[in-house]
């Protein structure tokens, strides 16, 4: 597994890699309170649906560990946990992993048998139960991703419309869904890692992913870090790439992650995903969503009901980077912010878009692969019967 870690944790201490500084600088910040976690998530120093949920869950655990809760009764401790989690939930609205983690943590603290323990013991049992459950979310995520990697690579090898003469596949991915977006390995990028480690990857392409550039700043960084054969393109080059399928790098599939997969399979993911799905359909390329079951939202029926986060105009009109000297050397100690558009132009900046289920061939979860049914939508009963 990759040595790259977005989140470092030991009980009572949480450190988060500042992804705004990547790929030039590798700096971890302490995140010790819900407020610090909220800011870190909102500013996208940590991002990616699973990583957001993990940081929020652990940060509240860290403040509890250090005695932030001054409540005098067990019921007040539960109200305190609820209020901190409800606050954290507002940090970013589209990814459902955070909501699912919060629902789970609220259930865990309510399962403590207050009557049997007595007041004082129950108060610390609630805190202990919370911390253990938050740590379990963090621990389980990497396991989940390794399974997604296995299921996804097996499905792709069996269903790829085209392969290299050696039987390997080439894929394209969008945004960042790797170790930086999770506790490790990643989802869509995890499938690419699994394909590569088994010798089944011919080539990976990653999009730049405007406006925040998760592809060029983060995915390209992970691919180079692991020496996976890969090429960066701008988002607008995908059509040209798909149209040149006769070259040796013919794309078999687009593999993306998800912020929210709803009941019929409509999927919210990084803006630009929908355009890639349309292009893939036209070119006969498989379109695969890789998502843990914690990214599936069975309460929402179709994509029309997903709240899409809109972000500030500066993400489109300005860009930051490290200074490059005349001889091509990068000065990592000197980063600058540069205006790239007229600062008064009106801007629309949705962080995500919704890909209709009809354009998706398969959703890869840790419990197995769900293929689209005859009706053009998905049925997730097989992978999450308990929540149906
Ligand atoms: O805005 P971001 O960077 O948080 O968006 C991330 C994505 O869209 C990912 O594809 C998704 O969260 C899945 S990460 C495993």
Q: ∠ at Cα 274 (270, 276), nearest 5°?
A: 100
Backbone angles phi, psi at 187, to 5 degrees: -100, -85
CA pair distance 144, 183, nearest whole angstrom: 10
pLDDT in tens, 217-231: 999 999 999 999 999
Pocket of ligand 1 contains residue 214 by CB under 6 Å: yes
Torsion of the alpha carbons at 189, 256, 169 and 191, rounded to the nearest 10: 30
- Centre of ligand 1 from the C-alpha of residue 290, in Å: 11
What is the pTM assigned to this prediction?
A: 0.96
- Locate the ligand 1 atom nearest the alpha carbon of residue 174 and give its number: 10
Strands of the sheet with 286-290, listed across from one edge: 230-233, 201-207, 169-173, 251-256, 286-290, 362-365, 368-371
Strand partners, 9: 14
Q: Catalytic residue at 259?
A: yes
Mutational test site, ligand 1, from 99, 172, 181, 291, max ligand atoms within 8 Å of CB? 181
Mutational test site, ligand 1, from 52, 214, 255, 309, max ligand atoms within 8 Å of CB? 214
pLDDT in tens, 328-369: 999 888 889 999 999 999 999 999 999 999 999 999 999 999
- Locate the ligand 1 atom nearest the alpha carbon of residue 189 and give its number: 15
Which is catalytic among the residues 18, 259, 297, 353?
259
pLDDT reported for residue 244: 85
pLDDT in tens, 56-70: 999 999 999 999 999
Query: 388: pLDDT confidence band, cut at 50, 70 and 90?
Result: low
Q: What is the DSSP letter of 93?
A: S
CA pair distance 184, 348, nearest whole angstrom: 33
Grouping H, G, I as helix, E, B as strand and the rest as coil, residue 113 is coil
Of the listed ranges 41-55, 231-245, 281-295, 359-373, the one predicted with least confidence: 231-245
- Centre of ligand 1 from the C-alpha of residue 235, in Å: 16
**Does the pLDDT of residue 311 top 90, yes or no?**
yes
Helix (H) or strand (E) holding 260: strand 260-262
- What's the Rg (C-alpha) of the chain? 21
CA pair distance 185, 30, nearest whole angstrom: 23
pLDDT in tens, 232-254: 999 999 999 999 866 667 999 99
Pocket of ligand 1 contains residue 182 by CB under 6 Å: yes
Pocket of ligand 1 contains residue 264 by CB under 6 Å: no
- Structure tokens that stand for 81 in this block: 């946990």
- Centre of ligand 1 from the C-alpha of residue 260, in Å: 10
Torsion of the alpha carbons at 226, 227, 231 and 233, rounded to the nearest 10: 30
Q: How far is CA 344 from CA 303, 314, 318, 350, in A?
A: 32, 10, 12, 18
As a whole-number percent, the residues of the chain with pLDDT over 70 amount to 98
Q: What is the mean pLDDT of the chain?
A: 95
* Residue among 270, 214, 290 at smallest CA distance from 95: 270
């Amino acid at each position: 597994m990759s040595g790259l870690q977005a989140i470092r944790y030991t009980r009572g201490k949480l450190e988060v890699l500042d992804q705004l500084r990547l790929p030039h600088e590798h700096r971890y910040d302490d995140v010790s309170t819900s407020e610090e976690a909220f800011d870190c998530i909102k500013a996208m120093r940590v991002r990616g649906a699973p990583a957001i949920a993990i940081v929020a869950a652990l940060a509240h655990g860290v403040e509890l560990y250090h005695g932030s809760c001054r409540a005098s009764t067990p019921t007040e401790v539960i109200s305190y946990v609820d209020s901190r989690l409800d606050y954290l939930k507002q940090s970013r609205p589209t990814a459902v992993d955070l909501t699912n983690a919060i629902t789970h943590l609220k259930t865990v603290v309510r399962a403590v048998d207050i009557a049997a323990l007595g007041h004082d013991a129950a108060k610390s049992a609630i805190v202990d139960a919370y911390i253990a459950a938050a740590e379990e979310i963090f621990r389980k995520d990497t396991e989940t991703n390794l399974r997604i990697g296995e299921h996804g690579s097996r499905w792709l090898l069996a269903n790829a419309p085209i392969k290299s003469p050696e039987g390997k596949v080439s894929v394209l991915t969008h945004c960042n869904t790797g170790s930086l977006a999770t506790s490790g390995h990643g989802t869509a990028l995890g499938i690419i890692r699994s394909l590569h480690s088994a010798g089944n990857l011919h080539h990976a392409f990653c999009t730049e992913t405007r406006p925040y550039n998760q592809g060029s700043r983060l995915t390209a960084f992970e691919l180079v870090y692991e020496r996976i054969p890969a090429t960066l393109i701008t988002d607008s080059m995908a059509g040209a790439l798909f149209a040149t399928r006769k070259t040796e790098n013919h794309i078999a599939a687009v593999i993306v992650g998800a912020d929210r997969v709803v009941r019929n399979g409509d999927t919210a993911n990084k803006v630009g995903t929908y355009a890639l799905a349309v292009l893939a359909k036209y070119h006969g390329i498989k379109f695969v969503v890789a998502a843990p079951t914690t990214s599936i939202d069975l309460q929402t029926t179709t994509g029309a009901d997903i709240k899409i986060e809109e972000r500030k105009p500066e993400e489109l009109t300005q860009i930051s980077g490290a200074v490059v000297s005349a001889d091509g050397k990068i000065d990592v100690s000197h980063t600058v912010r540069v205006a790239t558009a007229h600062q008064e132009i009106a801007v629309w900046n949705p962080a995500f878009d919704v890909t209709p289920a009809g354009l998706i061939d398969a959703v890869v979860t840790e419990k197995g692969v769900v293929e689209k049914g005859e009706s053009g939508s998905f049925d997730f009963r097989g992978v999450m019967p308990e929540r149906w």
